Structure formats: C-alpha cells, structure tokens
C-alpha cells in the first residue's frame, strides 16, 4: 500500500495545509495478541474498548490504521483523520464516523488524488487548491 501527501493552498488568503492518505506510520496491520502486547495507547479509549469487545467474538481480528481525508458534504472543508480498521475474515467490523467541526454533519471520505479544489477552512472560499509540485508518497512497512 502506498500513501500520499498532498499540499493544498488557498489562492485567496494563502492558508496552506498538508493532507495525507494511506497506511498509518505508527500502526501496521496486527492481530489482537500483537495489539494488546504493544502500545495500545495509540487509539482513543473508546476505540480500544471496541477492539477488546470484538476480540472476544472474533478470533482472527485484525487491526490497522489508515490516514483518510474526509470532506464535509455541506461546507466542502477537508479533514484529515486516522481511520481505524477492524477486520475479521474480510468482514469489516467497525465503520469510522467523523463529524464536521463547523456544522456537525457526517463527513464523507474523499480521494485526494482526484480532488483538485476544496473549500478553504479559514476564509471559506472555494479557492483551496492542490499544489502539484508537493506530491510526496511513501510505502508502508511490511507487516
């Protein structure tokens, strides 16, 4: 899996922000025994409780994290979140839900590789443009 880093800058107020999409640096895919013996302070305590809950029911629970960019369907503002994946035998056991900090609407995942323009989080004009020259990527460490 490859990760992407994209830089957006507002052509109106010149506010700039970096967004990442792809596998998390800190959390490689791991089984529950690996997770519980490692640093489980990586996640929010509610996520941690959910993992423990699911591990009781699913023997082959696999935990991983991905950086995902979300867009508010109402404001058009971008948010970068660390999405936690909980999977067992290809079954997705946990769906991440995030809300817009401005209007509280549920955010929708977006693909920054296809997103050239968004709404600036500072001046709220639709002039938040992806800068082409700062296209970086990384490859995740093998599990």
Q: Under the rule (CB under 5 A), what is the footprint of Zn ion?
A: 10, 12-13, 15, 72, 74-75, 100, 102-103, 120, 122-123
Q: Could you tell me how far CA 137 lies from the centroid of its own chain? A: 15
CB atoms within 10 A of CB 21: 21
> Of the two residues 19 and 35, which places its CB atom closer to Zn ion in the complex?
19
Residue with smaller CB distance to Zn ion, 13 or 52: 13
> Is the sign of the CA dihedral 107, 112, 114, 118 positive or negative?
positive
Considering the complex, what minimum distance in angstroms separates the CB of residue 66 from Zn ion?
22
- Alpha carbon separation from 18 to 32, 61, 69, 136 (Å, rounded): 32, 32, 11, 11
User: 20 vs 72, which CB is nearer to Zn ion?
Assistant: 72
To Zn ion, the closest distance from the beta carbon of 125 in angstroms equals 5
């Amino acid at each position: 899996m490859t990760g992407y880093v994209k830089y957006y800058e507002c052509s109106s107020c010149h506010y700039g922000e970096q967004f990442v999409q792809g596998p998390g640096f800190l959390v490689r895919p791991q089984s529950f025994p690996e997770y519980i013996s490692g640093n489980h302070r990586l996640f929010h305590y509610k996520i941690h409780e959910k993992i423990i809950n699911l591990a009781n029911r699913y023997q082959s629970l696999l935990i991983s994290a991905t950086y995902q960019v979300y867009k508010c369907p109402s404001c058009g503002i971008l948010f970068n979140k660390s999405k936690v994946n909980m999977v067992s035998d290809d079954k997705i056991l946990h769906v991440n839900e995030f809300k817009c900090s401005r209007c509280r609407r549920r955010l929708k995942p977006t693909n920054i590789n296809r997103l050239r323009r968004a709404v600036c989080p500072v001046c709220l004009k639709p002039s938040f443009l992806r800068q082409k020259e700062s296209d970086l990527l990384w490859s995740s460490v093998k599990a």
